[in-house]
Structure 1
Amino acid sequence: MRDLFVTLLVFAGLPYVLKRPAYGGLMWVWISVMNPHTQGWGFATTFPFAYIIAVATLLSLAKSRERNRFPLTPVSLALLALVFWMNLTTPFAMFPNAAWNQYAKVMKIMGMTLVLMMVVRERADIQRLVWVLVISLGFYGAKGGIFTIRSGGNDRVWGPVGTFIGGNNELALALVMTIPLMYYLMHDLPRRWMRHAMLAAMALSALAALGSYSRGALLAIVAMLLFMWGKSRHKLAGAALLVLLVPLALLFMPDQWGARMDTIGDYQADSSAMGRLNAWHMAFNLAKDRLMGGGFALYEPLTFALYAPNPADVHAAHSIYFQALAEHGFVGLGIYLLLGWLTWRSAAVIVRRCRGRAELDWAARLAAMIQASLIGFAVGGAFLSLLYWDVPYYLMAAVIAMRAQVALQLGAEPGGARRRLPLPRPDASLPAGPR
């Protein structure tokens, strides 16, 4: 039944995709982030939904009469530079066969992200993009939160198998990043019951993140909440709410959860933490030895035998930063950090330019909440191999579209230069005045 439901949803949406490429971009985000086919048990689990949606979107883009130009902004150009560098490092990968297989997967994500940057332009498209992300990840947040309540926090929450967020740590970080987006949408809901439902979804997502037993997610949610509190207009009320609700959530979790979180300060005694440190040392040593890094899929015993302090402890990177360093060298890490900084700066510019303008309040609030999501990703991602997870790149697309909308609304070009309005031509039927 679930397989048929997902299949009907996808094929029912294809006519809309062919009509307007923006709908194809949004459907791609849904299928790639939520992975609804993983919730079935039959043919849908292996059916090429993503491929069909991508082809339909590209066909729609080719025949569309809309001006779907690629936005030449600092963020988009930095992403292009990162993709270009990946294309340079892959031919020099340490394990070519595995690297080319991973390369194909990553290029699909990057390619469709570039398409999304072309087709998402209007405010309505931006809103839809945020809704698709919230629904896709909020589904697992609500489901995981209910599971945490039913189990009393004794069982871990896991994500959909075979996806970027299949692990407990990865799902927790995804939910942490979704909470600010839910907060943004909640304020625009027209009815009180809708706002209460969104607030409940936020609470359940937070419980699911705690129920994952992820230490990195705990650090990420603390950093994100502090940022959101700093951006809040009602700091006293926000502080009181945090003081009231956070202890209640923590007290709900069992003793074994507290024991797990206590290992944050005693990482030397934790084998998982020491494995991460070993992998990080390996990444640094490898990048010093190879300008272009080791390429995709390098986490093999041979790599650790050559570059790790403990050759026997083979681990994945467990860090977006050390993953970029190991796979693409110092240049790749530098481009990736530049991409994150430019995205943050663009969001900050949106907040600053929209301050005091009621008609652009939506953009200011969304940009601030995207910053909060990126704070969570920057902190939580320091402990997870999520360099190619697509959601942060989709948020970059939203920031690019928002900045263009704000510039258009304020009568300025995206680069910041004021648009010159044409001077009225003199009417030939009227006598010439003094010059």
Structure 2
Amino acid sequence: MRDILVTLLVFGGLPYVLKRPMYGGLMWVWISVMNPHTQGWGFATNFPFAYIIAVTTLVSLVKSREKNSFPLSPISLTLIVFVLWMNLTTPFAMFPNAAWNQYTKVMKIMLMTFVLMMVVHKREDIHKLIWVLVISLGFYGVKGGIFTIRSGGNDRVWGPVGTFIGDNNALALALIMTIPLMYYLMHDLRRRWMRHAMLAAMALSGLAALGSYSRGGLLAIIAMLLFMWSKSRHKMAGAAMLVLLVPLALLFMPDQWGARMDTIGEYQADQSAMGRINAWYMGFNMARDRFLGGGFATYEPLAFALYAPNPAAVHAAHSIYFQVLTEHGFGGLAIYLLLGLLTWRSAAIIVRRARGHAELDWAARLAAMIQASLIGFGVGGAFLSLLYWDVPYYLMAAVIATRAQVSLHLGPERRYARPKPLGRPHLDAAQTGPAKPEV
């Protein structure tokens, strides 16, 4: 039944995709983030829905009469540079066969990210994109929160098998990034019961993140909540809510959860943590030796034998930062960090420019909540191999479109000159009259 439902939704939506490519971009986000076909048990599990949606969207983009030009923003241009850099590192990969297989997957994600940047323009498009992300990830948050309550927190919450967020740690990070987006949408819901439902979804998603037993997720949710509180207009009420709800959630979790979280400060005795550190040393040493890094899928015994302190402990990077360093060298790391910095700066500019303009209040709130999501990703991603997970790139597309909307309402951004030092004011000829000839 689930397989039939997903199939009907996809093929029923293709005519709308052909009419407007923006719907194709949203459908791609839904199928690639939520992976609804993984919730079935039949033919839909391996059916190429993503491929069909991508091809239909590209056809629609070519035949569309809308102005779907590529946005030339600092974020999009830096992402292009990052893609070009990956195209440069892949031919020199240590393990070519595995690298090219991963390269194909990553380039598909980047291609559709660029398509999304082209088709999402209006406020309504941005709003729909955030809704699709919230529904896609919030489904697992609500489901996981209910599971945590039912099991008393004794069983771990996992994501959909075979996806970016299938691992318990990755799912926790995904849910933490979703909570600020839920908070943004909640303010636009007109009915009280809808706002209460969204609040419940936020609470269940947070509980599911705790129920994943992810130590990195705990650090990420703390950083995200602190940032959201700092951006709140009602800091006293927000602080009271955090003081009331957070201890209740922590007290609900069983002793075994607390014992696992306690190992954060005792990483030397944790075999998993030491394995990650060993992989980080390997990546750093490889980047020092190979200017372009090791290429995609370089976590093989040979790489650890050459560069790791402990050659026998073969692990994935378990860090977005060391993953890009290992696979694409110091140059790739610099580009990726610049990409994150530019995204953060663009969101900050949106908040600053939209402040005081009631018609752009939505833009300021969205930009601030995307920053909260990025805080969670930046902290939690330090312990996860999620460099190519598509959601952060989709949020970049939302930031680009939102900044364009702000500029459309307020005019282009101006760079103000520095004030001149105090002194004798400069007067032009119109004020002083003709200059006197020198004697």
Residue identity in the other structure for 2:271: S
Show the counterpart of 2:423: none
SS at match of 2:28: helix
Which residue in 1 is equivalent to 2:436? none
* C-alpha distance after superposition, 1:10-46 (max 9, x if no partner): 0010011000000000000000000000000000000
Is the 1:407–1:416 contact (alpha carbons within 8 Å) kept by the matching residues of 2? no
1:29 and 1:104 map into 2 onto residues whose CA distance is 18
Q: Which residue of 2 aligns with 1:137?
A: 137
How far apart are the structure 2 equivalents of 1:231 and 1:200?
Answer: 21
Partner in structure 2 of residue 389 of structure 1: 389
State how far apart, in whole Å, the 2-side matches of 1:360 and 1:159 are.
Answer: 36
Deviation by residue 1:35-84 (Cα, 9 ceiling, x = unmatched)? 00000000000000000000000000000011100000000000000000
Provide, for residues 240-291 of structure 1, a one-character-per-residue CA deviation record: whole Å limited to 9, x for no partner: 1100000000000000000000000000000010001000000000000000
In our comparison, the structure showing a higher alpha carbon Rg is: 2
- Tell me what 2:44 maps to: 44
Q: Distance in 2 between matches of 1:167 and 1:91?
A: 30
What is the match of residue 428 of structure 1?
Answer: none
CA shift for structure 1 position 411: 2.4
CA change 1:416–1:125 in 2 (3 A) is: farther
So what's the TM-score if we normalise by structure 1? Answer: 0.95
2: distance between equivalents of 1:72 and 1:187?
A: 31
Code of the residue aligned with 2:341 in structure 1: it is: W
Q: For residue 416 of structure 1, report the CA deviation from its aligned partner.
A: 4.7
Name the structure 2 match of 1:317.
317
1:270 corresponds to = 270
Cα deviation, 1:273-312, whole Å, max 9, x if unaligned, reads: 0001000000000000000000001000000000000000
Deviation at 1:100, TM superposition (A): 0.2
Distance 2:230 2:341 in 1: 19
Q: Distance in 1 between matches of 2:389 and 2:415?
A: 34
Matched, 1:334 2:321: no
Aligned residues: 416
Alignment of 1:12-411 (within 5 A): 12-411=12-411
State the 1:417 CA deviation.
7.7
Partner Cα distance (2:259, 2:140) in 1: 25
Letter in 2 for 1:131: W
Q: Distance in 1 between matches of 2:74 and 2:187?
A: 30
Alpha-carbon separation, structure 2, partners of 1:230 and 1:217? 20
What secondary structure is seen at the aligned counterpart in 2 of 1:266?
helix
Question: How far apart in 1 are the matches of 2:387 and 2:10?
Answer: 28
Cα distance between partner residues in 1 of 2:82 and 2:284: 19
Whichever residue aligns with residue 176 of structure 1, its letter is I
Aligned-residue identity in percent = 84
Match of 2:310, as an amino acid?
N
Which amino acid is the alignment partner of residue 290 of structure 2?
R
Q: Distance in 1 between matches of 2:246 and 2:51?
A: 43
Q: Which amino acid aligns with 1:372?
A: A
- Partner amino acid, structure 1, of 2:262: D
The amino acid of 2:177's aligned partner reads M
For residue 113 of structure 1, what is the amino acid of its counterpart?
T
Change (3 A) 1:119 1:417: farther
Are the aligned partners of 1:102 and 1:297 in contact in 2 as well (CA < 8 Å)?
Answer: yes
- Give the distance between the partners of 1:238 and 1:246, measured in 2 at CA: 12
> Structure 1 residue 237: deviation in Å?
1.0
Question: 1:425: which partner in 2?
Answer: none
Q: Which string of whole-angstrom CA distances, capped at 9 and with x for unpartnered residues, describes residues 196-232 of structure 1?
A: 0000000000000000000000000000001001001
Unpaired runs of 5+ residues, structure 2, are 417-439
In 1, the alpha carbon distance for the partners of 2:102 and 2:352 equals: 40
| 3-state secondary structure, aligned to 1:265 | helix
- SS where residue 299 of structure 1 aligns? coil
Counterpart code for 1:143:
K
Q: Residues of 2 paired with 1:343 and 1:185: CA distance?
A: 21
CA distance in 1 between counterparts of 2:224 and 2:415 reads: 34
Q: Could you tell me how far apart the structure 2 residues matched to 1:324 and 1:184 are?
A: 31
Amino acid at match of 2:392: P
Q: Deviations over 1:321-370 (max 9, x none)?
A: 00000000000000000000000000000000000110000000000000
Superposed CA RMSD in Å reads 0.8
Contact 1:38 1:160 in 2 (8 A): yes
Q: Which residue is equivalent to 1:430?
A: none
| Residue identity in the other structure for 1:387 | L
